[in-house]
Chains A and B, each alone.
Chain A
């Protein structure tokens, strides 16, 4: 098995240093880039398995770099951002970023996100896995059946099922309100986030153990939702 290649686009030396040592301890090969331009070149030549991209780069806006990257690659991207830039974060997620980390972040947090993205990527490569399970729930995506572990069937409406299916298809990825609305309701409803909240609430009531403290269908406040397998 080949080594996992991670490209790290970040202009601060000290941050690069600890991220690199953390990733190397996980057995990844880390390629550093100081500018967005350099990062794109590396991404094009090294066939990376993951890109970690800082949003505040000296030469270009991180979101622009991401858009360029997404035009030819589906590689998972984790963005690094400061908390004050909520707008940038949403823009980056809408532009195709998979996850984000808010500075300052710990090594444990970083590694958890990285592992999740790498796993998702390897999972989506496999085909034919029709059944997914989380908690006590089993979903048969071919038969479109949702049951409990004990075989009790749970009725979902058509929209609820589509929403669940889309979340399950992107495990670990932060899905913005816009993206979910566009994919489930269609492009005319991208501004009606409250519909989404109602359906998300219904899904949690039906599938979560404690809907007020979900374990799988997580809320990313101000951004969207994430399915945590």
Chain B
């Protein structure tokens, strides 16, 4: 039983991640209404005032008052961001200033009319995209939406009111809002307000009541908005139940597959499917299967299909364009592959009794798939599509030279065949004509071939069938000959034309594949970014008919200027490129972001991260719409990205190798030096000691003593030099452990007994010093050096004090003496290498001690400094950062 009660861990994880993202994002609150005039803006401003009263930093991004007095009054005491002025076709447009808002960085910003479309020249084409970016930056947003602006309800509202709006907001923006507040007003009151001129100016109001604000409309819109809000609340409830596992409902995930066709009204099919998917709470896919027949469609129709796919994507679908011979087979395969159990199709408008419909064919291929047929759009009255199609037909077939050639060939063959009619049967003459039709179909295309078919029949009848030079026919059986000849000619023409088309398609595909293959081969051999840029430029020029520029990032994630190679694009907007790079999404031409730019920016995403941006300027801007071209470009971009990443890692590997080599060299030099210098010194110290034990005369004794001392000093010097070399190279690995300071002080004092030569040392440690993490050997070294200095630079009767003190974040340890101190003003230079406290003093040393101390303390992320003691003397203090010591409250005391 408990099994069933437990929520799906993946779903929970997803939920937690979504929550985390949300925590960083700003919160979106939507004031939602049935139509204009219900008081959304007013409600939003009132809420903003409340927030401000609570001390929230509120700013008005953009608010449309429509001249309403009460709204304007509310707006008066709120801070309003200045609008950006954009010149567009000699008009000065005022738009919301996104950069300004991001720079101002308020806690809460008010953005009226979420569905608004920005003027060209703004960063994003839609205001909801501006809002997304604000939320991304962690700014809370209040906004307003009318029900007819919701993408999935757009056509429903259009159907009810007869007025279609073109500014829409994708449903996911609405659904992902953190809070939706419905602003509701009964239709009567709304009409009352309208009549009182509170919504529009009086003369506008009159017209509005007649057209849009009919009571029936208002009731329907109100119901829609209430229902949509209720759906959302329902969804929230379900999400709540899922996370709290109030009751687990286990259901197999059914998904929807929508087929987009070339027919009218696909848009409506998509919207229906989106609603269906939302109700069922399932993911959905939209595909377009491009058969050779569909590839021949006029450009405009194809663009429309792509627009429909884009709509599906905006509504939350996964989309794909699949090239294939048979649409039904591919559709079924796709459904199987993605585990989609329902196929949504638009109902065919006309039925052909001799041909199975698409739905029937899918039904026969896969008996287990559910097929949902939905109505398509009624034909939009404003769409003169028949005429436009006719226009395209004429365009398609306006290649008159081919027709002329076709006519000429028919005439020629007639002239040539005329002398042969005495030797050949008429049936064989027919064969010659068929041969010509085939040739025409092969060379000149379908139209000329059809013309040739008809001409051949006509010429054959006129010049060969008796009675000659007349279309009359003596023998009735020739009518059959004509019919067969015509149909054979037409079939040949059709077959040939198809074949020719497919050959062309295959050749195109082959050319693209070869180009990609060659690019991949060339890219795999590149060693420099310049070479990649050259390959990009060549590929784009040869295959895509475009100019490209390759922008790579530097170490700080900033894009650099395009790599300069011959024939590359040089004028790019690095701002857009940087945006594309940062967001990992394409920008510029043909996208939602700064579509006015003539250049398309594609981020180069490699497996590890985005590596740069490819800027592409096509010679014809519509070129990017074609799905084959986009696929080709995407494939090429990922190849280039991988090549860039490979070059990057080659560099990294090379650097590491060089570093490793030099480190190895340094280590071996150091260890040789260390061994070769220490061994003779050890012998010197030891032998002079041995000699000192012998019974020597006074001066000899002194000389031996001096040899011994100098050798010991030299040993210390060698130690210091080697240690300094190690510390400087940054190769010292700290052996950090949790230590007690008193222990290190103790061992340092013991080690410094000789250096201190009987000077009195006092240790002042507070009780309960915490554990500190450091390398005991190195810190002992620091203390020894400081004590040694204190011994060197003070009189034998001097006093030395070691103190420790705990601050909030550091442990400070100081070594103080009451000697002569160091010269005033040398506090900082003391720690430099080869610096002596008093240059002229007779004290031995080369001035590495304090430099080593500083290097060791720096490696511990600490600080060391010198001060003058009052009344006299020096104080050296170093501080070590306190970490979080290990738990020592219950040490493992094993009784026994």
* Chain A positions near chain B (C-beta within 8 angstroms): 12, 14-15, 17-19, 21-22, 25, 56, 82-84, 86, 103-108, 110, 157-159, 185-186, 189, 192-195, 197-201, 210-214, 218-222
Give Cα A199–Cα B671 distance, bound, in whole angstroms.
Answer: 37
Residues of B in contact, count (CB < 8 Å): 53
A104 touches B685 (CB 8 A): yes
A82 touches B678 (CB 8 A): yes
Give Cα A214–Cα B893 distance, bound, in whole angstroms.
Answer: 25
Closest to B783 in A: A221
Ordered by A's residue number, 12 sampled pairs between the chains whose C-beta atoms are within 8 Å are: A14-B683, A15-B683, A18-B683, A56-B675, A103-B679, A157-B893, A158-B893, A158-B894, A159-B894, A212-B745, A213-B763, A221-B747
Closest to B671 in A: A84
Q: Closest CB-CB distance, A194 to chain B, in whole Å?
A: 4
Contact of A104 (CB < 8 Å), options: B711, B750, B894: B711
- A189-B742 contact given A104-B686, A221-B776, CB 8 Å threshold: no
A106 touches B685 (CB 8 A): yes
Q: Closest CB-CB distance, B708 to chain A, in whole Å?
A: 8
Closest to B764 in A: A212
CB contacts under 8 Å to A, within B286-333, are: none
B747 touches A219 (CB 8 A): yes
Give Cα A86–Cα B739 distance, bound, in whole angstroms.
Answer: 18
Which A residues are CB-close (under 8 A) to B708? 106
CB contacts under 8 Å to A, within B656-693, are: 670-671, 674-675, 678-687, 689-690, 693
Q: Closest CB-CB distance, B364 to chain A, in whole Å?
A: 71
B888 touches A195 (CB 8 A): yes
- A108-B893 contact given A15-B682, A212-B765, A221-B747, CB 8 Å threshold: no
A200 touches B743 (CB 8 A): yes
B685 touches A158 (CB 8 A): no
Closest to A189 in B: B892
CB contacts under 8 Å to A, within B725-779, are: 726, 735, 737-740, 742-747, 749-750, 763, 765, 771, 775-777
- A21-B671 contact given A194-B737, A221-B780, CB 8 Å threshold: no
Which A residues are CB-close (under 8 A) to B745? 212
B896 interface residue, CB < 8 Å from A?
yes
Which A residues are CB-close (under 8 A) to B693? 25, 107
- A212-B763 contact given A14-B680, A18-B687, A219-B746, CB 8 Å threshold: yes
A104 touches B746 (CB 8 A): no
Which B residues are CB-close (under 8 A) to A198? 740, 888, 891
A186 touches B894 (CB 8 A): yes
Give Cα A213–Cα B711 distance, bound, in whole angstroms.
Answer: 29
A12 touches B686 (CB 8 A): no
B895 interface residue, CB < 8 Å from A?
yes
B886 interface residue, CB < 8 Å from A?
yes
Apart from A22-B686, A108-B689, A197-B740, what are 5 other A-B pairs with CB-CB below 8 Å?
A15-B686, A103-B678, A110-B686, A194-B886, A213-B750
B690 touches A158 (CB 8 A): no
B765 touches A83 (CB 8 A): no
Closest to A185 in B: B892
Q: Which of B686, B722, B896 has the most CB of A within 10 A?
A: B686
B776 touches A201 (CB 8 A): no
- A105-B686 contact given A84-B722, A185-B892, CB 8 Å threshold: yes
Which A residues are CB-close (under 8 A) to B671? 84
A197 touches B743 (CB 8 A): yes
Give Cα A165–Cα B575 distance, bound, in whole angstroms.
Answer: 74
Q: Closest CB-CB distance, B784 to chain A, in whole Å?
A: 10
A212 touches B746 (CB 8 A): yes
B101 interface residue, CB < 8 Å from A?
no
B373 interface residue, CB < 8 Å from A?
no
Closest to A199 in B: B891
Q: Which of A12, A22, A222 has the most CB of B within 10 A?
A: A222
Closest to B751 in A: A221
Closest to A87 in B: B735
CB contacts under 8 Å to A, within B683-726, are: 683-687, 689-690, 693, 708, 711-712, 715, 719, 722, 726
CB contacts under 8 Å to A, within B858-896, are: 885-886, 888, 891-896
Give Cα A159–Cα B890 distance, bound, in whole angstroms.
Answer: 13
Closest to A159 in B: B893
B737 touches A21 (CB 8 A): no
Give Cα A17–Cα B738 distance, bound, in whole angstroms.
Answer: 43
Which A residues are CB-close (under 8 A) to B885? 194
Which A residues are CB-close (under 8 A) to B712? 104, 106
Give Cα A219–Cα B746 distance, bound, in whole angstroms.
Answer: 8
Which B residues are CB-close (under 8 A) to A15? 679, 682-683, 686
Closest to B893 in A: A159
Q: Closest CB-CB distance, A14 to chain B, in whole Å?
A: 3
A104 touches B722 (CB 8 A): no
Give Cα A107–Cα B685 distance, bound, in whole angstroms.
Answer: 8
B894 touches A105 (CB 8 A): no
Contact of B891 (CB < 8 Å), options: A84, A195, A200, A211: A195
A194 touches B715 (CB 8 A): no
Contact of A201 (CB < 8 Å), options: B737, B743, B763: B743
Which A residues are CB-close (under 8 A) to B685? 104-106
Q: Closest CB-CB distance, B96 to chain A, in whole Å?
A: 60
B678 touches A104 (CB 8 A): yes
B776 touches A222 (CB 8 A): yes
Give Cα A88–Cα B753 distance, bound, in whole angstroms.
Answer: 26
Question: What 1/0 flags go to B469-487 for Cβ under 8 Å of A?
Answer: 0000000000000000000
Smallest CB-CB A-B distances: 3 pairs: A14-B683, A18-B686, A107-B689
Q: Closest CB-CB distance, A138 to chain B, in whole Å?
A: 23
Which A residues are CB-close (under 8 A) to B744? 219, 221
Which A residues are CB-close (under 8 A) to B687? 14, 17-18
Q: Closest CB-CB distance, A228 to chain B, in whole Å?
A: 10
Q: Closest CB-CB distance, B726 to chain A, in whole Å?
A: 8
B896 touches A158 (CB 8 A): yes
Q: Closest CB-CB distance, B802 to chain A, in whole Å?
A: 8
Contact of B740 (CB < 8 Å), options: A104, A201, A222: A201
Give Cα A17–Cα B682 distance, bound, in whole angstroms.
Answer: 11
Q: Closest CB-CB distance, A101 to chain B, in whole Å?
A: 10
Give Cα A205–Cα B604 distance, bound, in whole angstroms.
Answer: 66
Which A residues are CB-close (under 8 A) to B670? 84
Q: Closest CB-CB distance, A184 to chain B, in whole Å?
A: 9
Q: Closest CB-CB distance, A112 to chain B, in whole Å?
A: 12
Q: Closest CB-CB distance, B435 to chain A, in whole Å?
A: 93
A201 touches B742 (CB 8 A): yes
B682 touches A104 (CB 8 A): yes
A21 touches B690 (CB 8 A): yes
Give Cα A138–Cα B199 distance, bound, in whole angstroms.
Answer: 102
Closest to A101 in B: B682
Give Cα A158–Cα B690 distance, bound, in whole angstroms.
Answer: 47
Give Cα A193–Cα B740 distance, bound, in whole angstroms.
Answer: 11
Which A residues are CB-close (under 8 A) to B893? 157-159
Which A residues are CB-close (under 8 A) to B892? 185, 189, 192, 195
A194 touches B771 (CB 8 A): yes
Q: Closest CB-CB distance, B746 to chain A, in whole Å?
A: 6
B711 touches A185 (CB 8 A): no
Contact of A158 (CB < 8 Å), options: B715, B719, B738, B895: B895
Closest to A214 in B: B746
A18 touches B689 (CB 8 A): yes
Which A residues are CB-close (under 8 A) to B684? 104
Contact of A212 (CB < 8 Å), options: B674, B739, B742: B742
Which B residues are CB-close (under 8 A) to A193? 737-738
- A86-B690 contact given A197-B739, A198-B888, CB 8 Å threshold: no
Which B residues are CB-close (under 8 A) to A103? 678-679, 681-682
Give Cα A106–Cα B743 distance, bound, in whole angstroms.
Answer: 26
Give Cα A194–Cα B689 distance, bound, in whole angstroms.
Answer: 40
Give Cα A21–Cα B896 distance, bound, in whole angstroms.
Answer: 49
Which A residues are CB-close (under 8 A) to B765? 212
Q: Closest CB-CB distance, B757 to chain A, in whole Å?
A: 16
Which B residues are CB-close (under 8 A) to A185? 892, 894
Give Cα A20–Cα B689 distance, bound, in whole angstroms.
Answer: 13
Q: Which of B683, B776, B893 has the most CB of A within 10 A?
A: B683
Which A residues are CB-close (under 8 A) to B740? 197-198, 201
